[in-house]
Chain A
Amino acid sequence: MIQIDNLNKKFGSTTAVEDVSFNVQEGQICVLLGPSGCGKTTTLKMINRLITPTSGRIRIGGRDTSELDSVTLKRSIGYVIQQVGLFPNMTVEENICVVPNLLGWDKIKSRKRAAELLEVVALEPSKFLKRYPCELSGGQQQRVGVARALAADPPVMLMDEPFGAIDPINREVIQDEFMRIQRQVNKTVLFVSHDIDEAVKMADCVALFHNGRIEQFGSSDDLLARPKSEFVANFMGGDRIMKRLCLMRAVDVATQSPPREHMQVVGGNSAVSSRSHLVVKPGDDLRQVLSQLLGQGQEWALCNDSDGRFIGYVHQSDILARLVENTTPVVH
């Protein structure tokens, strides 16, 4: 969907972005990750041409964006920024209708769209349409910011640290909410972040930037388990192997082989009792599962689906084995 080839940006004599190339498939979330000043935001802003590239090519849906008029290009791409930037002189409804109005949509159609989108971001339209931005909390403002970016149904969304200014508790909530919205709208999203946990949670692919270049491009698991350089390993953190836990689910390690003590209790009977044993759901991430096992001092848990049907056993030892599977040591 988005193809970026040999992108460069120089400001005077300093190089902000150097020879950046990567592709993002349709419907994927690609996180541009890195420390501040690494060129990730500059790269993002070159895609909707808030910054003009010095050289290189950006194609969206196969089309070279340099052939498009800059204003037309911007209107066809959703844009969300950290400071939200809702216009304080406009109501929530008017804010969401900005791009539809610029595109000359029919008033009734764009109003209907605004109400729909508020439903999508879980704000009740009858309550919020006529409010002003100053009457919303930070989290609510950013939900409206996301709704505004989705207004004209753009295939591509650019998000510049959209949840960076929200407190940690609400950030988790709005991240989950965004993942739910994304499943519904299926946009191709480029997402700038400096938060590794956010990247691990949301990304289908990660581009890790360092000094204007892409240090490594791959899945979160690639970066955590198989870092290509010391910089990547350091950036992902000393606990990067542990972070892999968030990427795996209980069902991934569930086995049919029962623990020895359990066999003695039920005598090899297939009717498995869940009494006094920890029960986890197949979709639970392994970080939660391991934490619960350690907390209750148990070696294993039962994995049952939502109807209570037995799926398998989750052993602590299997989880630990999984953690180091497919890892490569960093080359010094």
Chain B
Amino acid sequence: METLSFILENGGLISLLLGQHLMIVMIAVGLAILTGVPVGIAISQHPRARRWVLAFAAVLMTIPSAALFGLMIPALSLIGYGIGVVPAVIALFLYSQLPIIRNTTTAISNLDPALREAAVGMGMSTWQRLLQVELPLAVPLIMAGVRMATVINIGIAAIAAYIGAGGLGSLIIRGIAQSDPRQLLAGAIIISVIAIAADYALYALQRLLTPKGLNKMAAGQMKEATT
């Protein structure tokens, strides 16, 4: 109850922090899509490159976030961006690589070989095949990776407040420092809620971007499974 009244009383501050939080996550995931999808496509036909890239992305994922932020400070200080939004975005960008690259490359390399053979046999060039067949069919899996990256990053972005990136993590840090459970809980609850909301919103986007034929196919399979 106290937490709720805290949220209502500090609406202005909270929406400012919420804006910062979402901006960091959106920039990081946006950049990760721009790089991760092409990398995922590029490595899908090269098993050895794929193993190395996925292993590297997995290692990135295992670095504790506090440690990664800590490492950023001396590294980025050299160009004058040791703390603030820039290191936060870079860290989140790195954490997004694994789900996006892995899902993209899985979607492309698991494509039914018959479809690829038909596409090549009918005289599609590599690009035509990619744009007309492979990418549209990969949409559901790529979007699943994007959703995962987003949800993970909304959580990790809370820690970025320690390096001065702002965001809802500030409430949690201040709550701990001031022994004020209202701020702590407000920050934690809002972060959870936006993580869930972002997942739903992206799921709606995924349905929108998925080709109609695939949605129908999924619906058909579901019907078969339940009858």
Give bound CA distance, A232 to B117, whole Å.
Answer: 31
From the candidates A71, A73, A135, A148, name the one contacting B216 in the complex (CB within 8 A).
A135
The answer to whether A102 and B122 touch across the interface, beta carbons within 8 angstroms, is yes
Are A89 and B121 within 8 A (Cβ)? no
Whether B214 pairs with A89 at a CB distance below 8 angstroms is yes
Asked whether, in the complex, the Cβ of A85 is within 8 Å of the Cβ of B213, the reply is no
- B34 close to A (CB within 8 Å): no
Q: Contact: B121 with A87, CB < 8 Å?
A: no
Chain A interface extent, by class: 20 to 34
The reply to whether B114 and A85 form a contact with Cβ atoms under 8 Å apart is: yes
A-facing mask of B86-127, CB < 8 A → 1, else 0? 000000000000000000000000001011011111111100
B211 within 8 A of A: yes
- A98 vs B118: C-alpha distance when bound (angstroms): 11
Which residues of chain B are near A72, meaning CB under 8 Å? 123
- A71, A79, A86, A133: the one contacting B125 at CB < 8 Å is A71
Task: For chain A, residues 54 to 80, give those with C-beta under 8 angstroms from any C-beta of chain B.
Answer: 71-76, 79
Contact call A79/B213, Cβ cutoff below 8 A: no
Please give me the residue from chain A that is nearest to B126 by CB atom.
Answer: A71
Q: Write the chain A residue with the least CB distance to B139.
A: A89
Q: Which residues of chain A are within 8 angstroms of B38 by Cβ–Cβ distance?
A: none
- Which among B124, B125, B220 has the highest number of chain A CB atoms within 10 Å? B124
Considering only residues 9-39 of chain A, those with a C-beta below 8 Å from chain B are none
B217, A88: Cβ atoms under 8 Å? yes
Chain B: interface size category? 20 to 34
* A90 and B122 contact, CB distance less than 8 A: no
Contacting residue for A48 out of B121, B124, B132, CB 8 A: B121
B173 within 8 A of A: no
- The number of inter-chain residue pairs (CB within 8 angstroms) is 77
A75 to B119, CA, bound (A): 10
Are B123 and A75 closer than 8 Å at their CB atoms? yes
Interface string of A82-97 (1 = CB under 8 A from B): 0111111111000000
Q: Nearest-CB distance from B62 to chain A (Å)?
A: 36
**B137: Cβ under 8 A from any A Cβ:** yes
CB < 8 Å neighbour of A81 from B117, B124, B137, B211? B117
A85 touches B216 (CB 8 A): no
Please measure, in the bound complex, the distance between the C-alpha atom of A244 and the C-alpha atom of B117, giving whole angstroms: 36
Contact indicator B212/A85 (Cβ below 8 Å): no
A99 contacts chain B at the CB level, 8 A cutoff: yes
Q: Which residue of B lies closest to A99 (CB)?
A: B122
- Contacting pair B114 A83 (CB below 8 A): yes
Residues in chain A near residue B118, CB distance under 8 A: 79, 81, 84-87
Known: A83-B114, A89-B136, A89-B137. A132 touches B121 (CB 8 A): no
Flag whether B77 is at the interface (Cβ < 8 A): no
Q: Does A134 contact B (CB under 8 A)?
A: yes
Minimal beta-carbon separation of B218 from chain A (angstroms)? 9
Asked whether any CB of chain B lies closer than 8 Å to the CB of A266, the reply is no
A328 to chain B, nearest CB (A): 40
Question: Does B117 contact A74, Cβ atoms closer than 8 Å?
Answer: no
Q: How far is the CA of A90 from the CA of B122 in the complex (A)?
A: 15
Q: How far is the CA of A61 from the CA of B148 in the complex (A)?
A: 55
CB-based contact A71/B123 at 8 Å = yes
In the complex, residue of chain B having the shortest beta-carbon distance to the beta carbon of A133: B213
Inter-chain CA distance A75–B121, complex, in Å, is: 8
> Contact partner of B124 among A84, A86, A102, CB < 8 A?
A102
Question: Could you tell me the distance between the alpha carbons of A91 and B125 in the complex, rounded to whole angstroms?
Answer: 21
- Interface-centre pick from A83, A86, A99, A134 (highest chain B CB count, 10 A): A134
* B interface residues with partner A (beta carbon < 8 Å): 112, 114-115, 117-125, 128, 132-133, 136-137, 211-214, 216-217, 220
Question: With A87-B119, A87-B137, A98-B124 given, can you name 14 additional A-B contacts, CB distance below 8 Å?
Answer: A74-B121, A75-B123, A79-B118, A85-B117, A85-B119, A87-B132, A89-B136, A89-B211, A89-B212, A98-B132, A102-B122, A132-B217, A134-B216, A135-B216
| A interface with B by C-beta (< 8 Å) | 48, 50, 71-76, 79, 81, 83-91, 98-99, 102, 132-135, 148
30 contacts between A and B (CB under 8 A): A50-B117, A50-B120, A71-B123, A71-B124, A72-B123, A73-B123, A75-B123, A76-B123, A79-B121, A79-B122, A81-B114, A84-B114, A84-B118, A85-B114, A85-B119, A87-B119, A87-B133, A88-B115, A88-B217, A89-B133, A89-B136, A89-B137, A89-B211, A89-B213, A90-B211, A90-B213, A98-B122, A102-B123, A132-B217, A135-B220
